[in-house]
Structure 1
């Protein structure tokens, strides 16, 4: 409990400092550093170092199982908490859950499900990620009770920054209302291949300009609603002819070709302090002839981490997709992803797959194939993200579907003008 209180205090400090920075950026509060002669911001640097030390102290105080559990987001079966899910929370200290349409029948049932998971998790050191794919268009897990929103292509064709930002804000509003805190959106793929079977109108367009101008604004709109935005699918899924849910796509582009097109939106997102990046199950033989991006050290560590200077959270695409399970065991894939530089393994389906991945990663840590230093760095990044958004186990007591739907209708009316 003492550790929980410490984490809550640190989270409040992080949120307050982030809020002050946002106000200063908007010109609402004068720059006190300059007024007081502290041009270099030495006082702020000291505060930042103090926060870093506090987060590190939390990492240092965690058990091995607590640390390993934070590396996973799992799917669940059904519409209510079950024994398998309870075991994941109680015994394995899992970092979060992802939800699909079959988990979410009504707004009332959704709130009850998320609240029950929060209640079960209260004895654990860290709150849970509650993630969902809510992109608009055909990829909407909440469409049974919230109004349909346009797809990304429609938003991109309008190409107005205020509309794109509002689109993201509306997405965030529906998640926040029910207790979610993470959106696997927006898609930053450039739909450069018209025959692409999986991206299509999920992309904001077929040019890097369309994706940057609209995708980044949607990301910022999601963040404005205090929802974590995970952009996808690095290093680019827009030129594939195979659906990675079924099999492993192959893209034969060189690094220079990727830098001139597919990587550009992700580079911009990194410059704009993106919360997290999801890596795709795609083989790029010119970058790594042996492993798909999710399992490739050359792509995650060398390209994303080192060359693009990204130090945020890296999440895998679902490790139970055909591109992986047709070629690797889920446990092997989880280990390779983490060793390649990833942080959070996404395992959406199958309790046995989830247990296998947890056990295999623990074996690798105990045998020092994944070093304690690497493990601590991953956990540090995850805690930093949870604190940035003030995640907690506070239950949702009230929600208003009609109010959220009115926000969507207002956006749709603006689009029609």
Structure 2
């Protein structure tokens, strides 16, 4: 694998358009500004991309997004010498207020509603149902479940399962199991815990003021449980964890990503940044430097860089100069490649549209909502 191919596999952009290849003039203009090319299919080829995230503007309904995802997968097969590796096609489909595919998909309740039932089996069942639908649409990965503890953060609220760490951990690991059984790669978020943070990281760097002991006793409990359950991926939040690395966003902090997540908790899977379109990151560093600092911190995949070309070029330059060592680059690529193989293995039996029990999924949702009261 060339250095360009290695760098490309660490970037997971968003894009404009509801097709991988056929775009409107406005969509082409947007892509030219943020991707440097007219369509996502061309970006896959130009930057040797291993992944992409599908957002609400890319979606009209479930059947359309299936066609989009099939187009992305086809573009990846054409551009790669190794056609055995599936493209990582991700989405935020948590349920509740974060549900990108609406028309044609089951409307799942927020995590808090599921948590109210007190039964992890409900989290597992609804994650399985959600994952089954996503797999039929051609997704390989869901940025879920949310492992944050508590409902006080304005950015989290009902997206969390519980106010207590043990209950949150039980629900989180159950959901991880459900997604995995459905053939979807689960990604727990937002490490090291957004539940107590004031502010919204889309616009500012929220402060986490808990002590190290409190973090271990509360926020890290669901993540530790998910890691023990062999969750394959973790997403880092943009948080100012004052007890660990004050003033530095956790997604670009080596003390948080490498020190806490890898060294202290023993995580060996893939690490994703949260969206790098968020102001605390792109506003402070710019797209290129943000990508480099993330990889130096220990992140494997840079999610949604504000300027794909700038991020790609900056990572290439950092690798060429030795700022990012060959070992660091290879470690990240090895983990991403392993994740793609994992996605292929667990998602091999992709259900056809007619095989998805849509009515049964809706019945499961009604039962959980009734149980939650």
TM-score (norm 2): 0.89
Match of 1:98 in 2: 53
Runs of 4+ in 1 over 4 A off after TM superposition: 391-398
- Residue of 115, 128, 143 corresponding to 1:184: 143
Inter-partner Cα distance in structure 2 for 1:161 and 1:248: 32
- Structure 2 residue 220 is matched with structure 1 residue 299: no
Match of 2:19 in 1: 80
SS in 2 for 1:231: strand
Inter-partner Cα distance in structure 2 for 1:220 and 1:398: 22
Contact 2:183 2:348 (8 Å CA) reproduced = no
Match of 1:45 in 2: none
Inter-partner Cα distance in structure 2 for 1:394 and 1:408: 21
Match of 2:25 in 1: none
**Using a 3 Å threshold, how does the CA distance of structure 1 residues 136 and 404 change in structure 2: closer, same or farther?**
farther
Contact 1:135 1:185 (8 Å CA) reproduced = yes
Contact 1:230 1:274 (8 Å CA) reproduced = yes
Inter-partner Cα distance in structure 1 for 2:351 and 2:267: 37
SS in 1 for 2:187: strand
Contact 2:20 2:71 (8 Å CA) reproduced = yes
Match of 2:267 in 1: 310
Match of 1:328 in 2: 285
- Structure 2 residue 303 is matched with structure 1 residue 346: yes
**Using a 3 Å threshold, how does the CA distance of structure 1 residues 253 and 413 change in structure 2: closer, same or farther?**
closer
SS in 1 for 2:285: coil
Larger radius of gyration: 1
1:104-159 Cα offsets, whole Å, 9 max, x none, are: 11223212111111222213023210100111111111112212111100100001
Contact 1:122 1:393 (8 Å CA) reproduced = no
**Using a 3 Å threshold, how does the CA distance of structure 1 residues 394 and 66 change in structure 2: closer, same or farther?**
farther
- Residue of 264, 278, 282 corresponding to 2:239: 282
Inter-partner Cα distance in structure 2 for 1:407 and 1:69: 40
**Using a 3 Å threshold, how does the CA distance of structure 1 residues 155 and 405 change in structure 2: closer, same or farther?**
same
Match of 1:410 in 2: 363
Inter-partner Cα distance in structure 1 for 2:90 and 2:66: 14
- Residue of 356, 374, 378 corresponding to 2:310: 356
RMSD value, Cα: 2.0
Structure 2 residue runs of 5 or longer lacking an equivalent are 22-37
Match of 2:294 in 1: 337
Inter-partner Cα distance in structure 2 for 1:275 and 1:394: 17
| TM alignment of 1:203-214, pairs within 5 A | 203-214=160-171
Match of 1:141 in 2: 100
Count of equivalent residues: 350
1:252-302 Cα offsets, whole Å, 9 max, x none, are: 222111111101110111111011000000111221124110000111111
Q: Cα distance, 1:391 vs. partner?
A: 6.6
Q: Cα distance, 1:233 vs. partner?
A: 0.1
SS in 1 for 2:296: helix
SS in 1 for 2:241: coil
Match of 1:11 in 2: none
1:56-102 Cα offsets, whole Å, 9 max, x none, are: xxxxxx11111111101111102112434233211211111101121
Contact 1:293 1:300 (8 Å CA) reproduced = yes
- Residue of 177, 202, 208 corresponding to 2:159: 202
Contact 2:150 2:160 (8 Å CA) reproduced = yes
**Using a 3 Å threshold, how does the CA distance of structure 1 residues 413 and 107 change in structure 2: closer, same or farther?**
closer
| TM alignment of 1:13-412, pairs within 5 A | 62-82=1-21, 83-123=38-78, 124=80, 125=82, 126-191=85-150, 194=152, 196-347=153-304, 350=306, 353-390=307-344, 398-400=352-354, 403-412=356-365
Q: Cα distance, 1:171 vs. partner?
A: 1.2
Inter-partner Cα distance in structure 2 for 1:106 and 1:347: 22
Match of 1:44 in 2: none
Contact 2:86 2:341 (8 Å CA) reproduced = no
SS in 2 for 1:241: coil
Q: Cα distance, 1:392 vs. partner?
A: 11
Q: Cα distance, 1:168 vs. partner?
A: 1.0
Inter-partner Cα distance in structure 1 for 2:293 and 2:128: 35
Inter-partner Cα distance in structure 2 for 1:231 and 1:323: 21
Contact 2:206 2:239 (8 Å CA) reproduced = yes
SS in 2 for 1:334: helix
Inter-partner Cα distance in structure 1 for 2:19 and 2:170: 40
Inter-partner Cα distance in structure 1 for 2:341 and 2:317: 29
